[in-house]
């Protein structure tokens, strides 16, 4: 314990740099996963015939272990941040996509019918009715994607992506337990923060749908 | 005014059309109750009027405009739409729900706020109490009232209602049917009401249109449909008690021989009571005739069992009591 504190005191710059890398890697990956998953999920709920095959494909993607996904990128994209981000995007995409589809699919059809019947254009039905009602489920998808990505980003170090994984792998290589534990705890803390943040947003979105206004 | 000319809907691959060349005219300010067994095409017909379903053939004219040529989104903003279970937006307040179409039409805030309060008052909800509540905190009947207020908010000349009160408990349903009918008459809305409930059709419809297998079988005033079903199907659909139902449409005052002194000791019936009530009093008391009273010093007239019997059978009515509205085109 004291060793850990001493290590942290001695290496604030290293912690800050790897933390920054980890956050950038995770944040960018989540952003891109959301940028693909949300529109794709919306599009697929409008094209139910394509939804089946795409969901099957995405579920297959889910079964590939995260380390394998990262290593697959090595021959394709080389080392560094870019291949790490691509792998992490693929890793986080299923949760975003599937929850977007589940959320939109769960919007009661009579409410959508009423919205269309009042004269909302298709884009207005989506933005003003479907997305707000699907928001809790979509945010739950973003939450699990964020946690998964933050955790998996630890492995990016193996293809030169940096992040807290550096502390862990260096700690293991040098038998430097404090450094290893510091890296592990830092990943856990960042994943926990993502969980709490999106969990809070999810609760807010759910409360908006409740009997009383927030 | 709503006019359907040879309107049909044929889904690709279906053996027979869902709606098969319907001609229907609903005059301005009148309510037409579209009724029939499930699968008869009544809801499809309704949803073609605001183009939630595209007709495969025919022409639909609403308030003088051919809707089959209009932009469907703009068209719907000018047609009120009320559905079963209301379809209120759960994430918006009552006011937000009622303001839906005025917002789409770009009204300013003050005008919308005033309109929302006026609409809530119209449907019997105190704006101060209900404006900021969420649909989830309302009773079924209150929700349905908000649904009607939302449909009327932009003052559309035409209203489409699809089983509007089916999810409401029977007591509240009766009250809603009376109140909403009164509001629609007063505002002179032209209404198509889809229902499977015969009592609702008779209570709310100026006319009743009976559908079967995508075809319009009969369209007439409720008393005419009940008195003279077009065929065996309509007769069976209306039920063996249709003569009794018909009596609910007529008042004692309209059916009695006015000025005629009732026999000594005849039981009394209020002038505004229905003939069904009058018949019940006659049967209960064993009398042959009733004194129709309206609170004045002398009875309005005499209502005999024979007169009720003649009306129930749909015989020519000497007093003209049934002829409430002009004949249909």
- Domains of chain A (ranges, CATH numbers): 2-189 (1.10.3720.10)
Range B317-328 average pLDDT: 44
pLDDT tens string B176-187: 999 999 999 999
Range A35-45 average pLDDT: 95
Would you call A119 and B137 a contact, using CB atoms and an 8 Å cutoff?
A: no
Would you call A111 and B134 a contact, using CB atoms and an 8 Å cutoff?
A: no
* B110: pLDDT strictly greater than 60: yes
Would you call A119 and B75 a contact, using CB atoms and an 8 Å cutoff?
A: yes
* B328: pLDDT strictly greater than 80: no
pLDDT-based confidence at B319, cuts 50/70/90? very low
* B315: pLDDT strictly greater than 70: no
The answer to whether the beta carbons of residues A170 and A179 sit under 8 Å apart is: yes
Q: Which residue of A has its CA nearest to B84?
A: A110
* B130: pLDDT strictly greater than 50: yes
- Predicted confidence at residue B219, as pLDDT, reads 95
The conformational region for residue B163 under phi > 0 = left, psi -120 to 50 = alpha, else beta, is: left
pLDDT tens string B155-178: 999 999 999 998 888 888 999 999
Q: Which residue of A has its CA nearest to B103?
A: A120
- CATH class, range B2-240: alpha beta
- CATH superfamily entry for domain B250-312: CBS-domain (3.10.580.10)
CB pairs under 8 A between A and B: 70
pLDDT tens string B63-72: 888 988 889 9
pLDDT-based confidence at A1, cuts 50/70/90? low
Measuring CA to CA, which residue among B147, B164, B135 is closest to residue B98?
A: B147
Measured between alpha carbons, how far is B27 from B205 in angstroms, rounded to an integer? 12
Q: How far is CA B307 from CA A186, B273, B315, in A?
A: 93, 15, 10
- Predicted confidence at residue B321, as pLDDT, reads 45
B212 beta partners: B215
- Predicted confidence at residue A212, as pLDDT, reads 57
Residue with tokens 């003569």: B243
The answer to whether the beta carbons of residues B282 and B326 sit under 8 Å apart is: no
pLDDT-based confidence at B246, cuts 50/70/90? confident
Range A28-38 average pLDDT: 96
Token code pair at residue B259? 């000025």
Q: In what order do the strands lie in the sheet with B158-162?
A: B79-83, B158-162, B190-195, B31-35, B207-212, B215-220
* Predicted TM-score (pTM) above 0.90: no
* B9: pLDDT strictly greater than 90: yes
* A2: pLDDT strictly greater than 80: no
pLDDT-based confidence at A211, cuts 50/70/90? low
The answer to whether the beta carbons of residues A198 and A137 sit under 8 Å apart is: no
* A146: pLDDT strictly greater than 80: yes
Range from A174-178, B4-8, B19-23, B48-52 carrying the lowest mean pLDDT: A174-178
pLDDT-based confidence at B55, cuts 50/70/90? very high
Q: How far is CA B206 from CA A170, B25, B126, in A?
A: 85, 12, 29
Measured between alpha carbons, how far is A130 from A161 in angstroms, rounded to an integer? 38
- Predicted confidence at residue B325, as pLDDT, reads 42
Would you call A114 and B101 a contact, using CB atoms and an 8 Å cutoff?
A: no
- Predicted confidence at residue A12, as pLDDT, reads 86
Range A125-149 average pLDDT: 95
Residue with tokens 């917002």: B103
Token code pair at residue B248? 């609910």
CA distance A129 to chain B (A): 7
- Predicted confidence at residue A209, as pLDDT, reads 77
The answer to whether the beta carbons of residues B9 and B41 sit under 8 Å apart is: yes
Q: What angle do CA A127, A128, A134 make, to 5 degrees?
A: 75
Q: What angle do CA B263, B265, B267 make, to 5 degrees?
A: 95
**For all residues of chain A together, what is the average pLDDT?**
89
DSSP sequence for B12-42: TT-SS-SEEEEEEEE-TT-EEEEE-STTSSH
In chain B, which residues have their Cβ closer than 8 Å to the Cβ of A121? 73
Residue A185, helix vs strand vs coil: helix
* B326: pLDDT strictly greater than 80: no
CB-closest option in A119, A128, A208 to B101: A119
The answer to whether the beta carbons of residues B46 and B22 sit under 8 Å apart is: no
Would you call A211 and B134 a contact, using CB atoms and an 8 Å cutoff?
A: yes
Rg from Cα positions in chain B: 22
In chain B, which residues have their Cβ closer than 8 Å to the Cβ of A115? 87, 89
- Predicted confidence at residue B45, as pLDDT, reads 95
The answer to whether the beta carbons of residues B26 and B207 sit under 8 Å apart is: yes
CA distance A201 to chain B (A): 15
Range from A70-74, B106-110, B135-139, B323-327 carrying the lowest mean pLDDT: B323-327
Measured between alpha carbons, how far is B30 from B154 in angstroms, rounded to an integer? 19
Q: How many CA atoms lie within 13 A of A23 on its CB side?
A: 12
In chain B, which residues have their Cβ closer than 8 Å to the Cβ of A129? 89
CA distance A141 to chain B (A): 20
% of residues, chain A, pLDDT over 90: 56
Q: Which residue of B has its CA nearest to A210?
A: B136
- Predicted confidence at residue A30, as pLDDT, reads 96
pLDDT tens string B262-271: 888 888 888 8
Measured between alpha carbons, how far is A90 from A97 in angstroms, rounded to an integer? 11
% of residues, chain B, pLDDT over 70: 95
pLDDT-based confidence at B318, cuts 50/70/90? very low
| Terminal Cα distance for chain B, rounded | 13
Q: In what order do the strands lie in the sheet with B301-304?
A: B257-258, B301-304, B289-293, B268-270
Would you call A110 and B150 a contact, using CB atoms and an 8 Å cutoff?
A: no
Q: How far is CA B300 from CA A75, A127, B323, in A?
A: 101, 62, 20
Would you call A118 and B76 a contact, using CB atoms and an 8 Å cutoff?
A: yes
CB atoms within 10 A of CB A185: 14
**For all residues of chain B together, what is the average pLDDT?**
89
Residue to test with chain A: of B70, B72, B91, B163, most A Cβ within 10 A:
B91
Would you call B134 and A210 a contact, using CB atoms and an 8 Å cutoff?
A: yes
Range A95-111 average pLDDT: 94
DSSP classification of residue B274: B
pLDDT tens string A3-23: 888 888 888 888 899 999 999
Look at B239 and B81; give whichever has higher pLDDT: B81
The answer to whether the beta carbons of residues A140 and A199 sit under 8 Å apart is: no
Q: What are the sequence ranges of the domains in chain B?
A: 2-240, 250-312
């Amino acid at each position: 314990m004291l060793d850990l504190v001493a290590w942290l005191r001695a290496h604030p710059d290293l912690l800050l740099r790897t933390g920054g890398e980890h956050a950038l890697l995770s944040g960018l990956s989540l952003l891109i996963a959301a940028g693909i998953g949300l529109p794709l999920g919306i599009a697929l709920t409008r094209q139910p015939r394509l939804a089946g095959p795409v969901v099957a494909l995405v579920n297959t993607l889910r079964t590939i272990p995260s380390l394998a996904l990262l290593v697959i990128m090595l021959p394709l994209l080389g080392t560094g941040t870019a291949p790490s981000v691509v792998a992490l995007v693929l890793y986080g995409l299923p949760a975003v996509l599937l929850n977007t589809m589940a959320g939109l699919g769960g919007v009661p059809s009579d409410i959508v019918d009423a919205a269309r019947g009042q004269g909302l254009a298709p884009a207005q039905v989506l933005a003003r009715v479907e997305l707000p009602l699907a928001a809790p489920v979509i945010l739950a998808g973003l939450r699990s994607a964020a946690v998964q990505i933050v955790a998996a980003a630890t492995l990016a170090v193996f293809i030169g992506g940096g992040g807290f994984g550096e502390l862990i792998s260096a700690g293991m290589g040098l038998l430097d337990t404090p450094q290893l534990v510091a890296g592990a705890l830092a990943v856990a803390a960042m994943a926990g923060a993502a969980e709490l943040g999106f969990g809070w947003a999810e609760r807010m979105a759910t409360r908006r749908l409740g009997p009383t206004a927030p | 005014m709503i006019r359907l000319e040879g309107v049909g809907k044929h889904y690709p691959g279906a053996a027979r059309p869902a709606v098969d060349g319907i001609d229907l005219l609903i005059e301005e300010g009148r309510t037409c109750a579209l009724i029939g067994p499930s699968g008869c095409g009544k809801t499809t017909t309704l949803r073609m009027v605001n183009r939630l379903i595209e007709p495969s053939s025919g022409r639909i004219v609403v308030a003088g405009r051919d809707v089959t040529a209009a932009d469907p989104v703009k068209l719907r903003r000018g047609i009120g739409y009320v559905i079963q279970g209301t379809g209120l937006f759960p994430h918006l307040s009552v006011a937000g729900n009622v303001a839906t179409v005025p917002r789409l039409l770009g009204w300013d805030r003050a005008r919308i706020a005033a309109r929302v309060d006026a609409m809530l008052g119209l449907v019997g909800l105190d704006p101060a109490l209900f404006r900021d509540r969420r649909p989830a905190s309302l009773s079924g009947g209150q929700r349905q009232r908000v649904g009607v207020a939302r449909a009327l908010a932009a003052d559309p000349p035409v209203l489409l209602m699809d089983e509007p009160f089916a999810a409401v408990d029977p007591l509240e349903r009766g009250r809603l049917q009376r109140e909403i009918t009164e509001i629609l008459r007063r505002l002179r809305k032209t209404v198509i009401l889809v229902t499977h409930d015969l009592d609702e059709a008779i209570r709310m419809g100026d006319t009743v249109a009976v559908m079967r297998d995508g075809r319009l079988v009969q369209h007439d005033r409720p008393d005419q449909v009940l008195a003279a079903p077009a065929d065996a199907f309509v007769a069976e659909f209306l039920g063996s008690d249709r003569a009794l139902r018909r009596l609910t449409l007529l008042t004692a005052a309209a059916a009695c021989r006015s000025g005629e002194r009732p026999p000594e000791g005849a039981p009394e019936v209020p002038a505004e009571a229905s003939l069904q009530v009058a018949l019940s009093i006659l049967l209960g008391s064993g009398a042959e005739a009733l004194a129709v009273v309206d609170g004045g010093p002398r009875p309005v007239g005499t209502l005999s069992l024979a007169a009720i019997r003649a009306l129930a059978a749909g015989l020519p009515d000497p007093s003209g009591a049934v002829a409430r509205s002009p004949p249909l085109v």
